[in-house]
Amino acid sequence: MNRWVRVGLLALGILLVNMASRFITWKFKIVDESQLTKLDAVLIGLLAVLVMGATAWWAVRYPFPRAFGDVGLAVLLGVLLCLTVAPIAGGQHPFTESFGTLVAEFVLFTGIIAIFGFLAFGAVVMLGKDWKSRSLRRYQQNYAKRPHRTVRG
């Protein structure tokens, strides 16, 4: 599959999770603070699973700069789509809030999702399954197989 298709699919996944949350809030008229908190927890949990899975998948297959760039771009695109397109799923118009509120939502949403991405990448590195650790392990195994010369002094 094309690299940019994967980035777009992750961004679309982030958007769809957010749209579903807004749609449920709108259609079921959820205004109670405790219910909104529960729905937000489910939303964050789904986003965490989605981003952590994608980050782990990329970290195993590609070097850090590419994995970081691809996941980072997908997160930024997904969050921008969540702020511009997703309000329509909740029966609202985009940009009805002030500019400061939009910036705060962008920073908060991006930060939360990025934390989960970094946690997933850290877990893959700690397990030694990332691209760099695997290539170093292969080098070590190939080096151990070679016959070594003894040096006499």
84-113 pLDDT, tens digit each: 999 999 889 988 889 999 999 999 999 999
Residue 153 clears pLDDT 70, i.e. is over it: no
CA 148 to chain centre: 45
Confidence of residue 116 (pLDDT cuts 50, 70, 90): very high
- Please report whether residue 71 resides in a domain: yes
Question: Is residue 115, in this structure, part of any structural domain at all?
Answer: yes
Angle between helices 64-84 and 3-27 in degrees, nearest 10: 30
Residue 130 within a domain: yes
Residue 120 domain-assigned? yes
DSSP string, 46-65: HHHHHHHHHHHHHHHHS-HH
Determine the Cα–Cα distance for residues 118 and 56; give it in Å rounded to an integer: 10
**Is 44 a member of any domain?**
yes
Please report whether residue 151 resides in a domain: no
* Per-residue pLDDT, 149: 80
Q: Is 43 a member of any domain? A: yes
Could you tell me if residue 150 is inside a domain? no
* Total tally of structural domains belonging to the chain: 1
What domain range includes position 53?
A: 3-145
CA quadruple 48, 127, 132, 9: dihedral, nearest 10: -20
pLDDT for position 17: 96
Output the six-digit token pair for 130. Answer: 């990332």
Please give the Cα distance from 53 to 99 (Å, whole number).
32
Q: What percent of the chain has pLDDT over 70?
A: 99
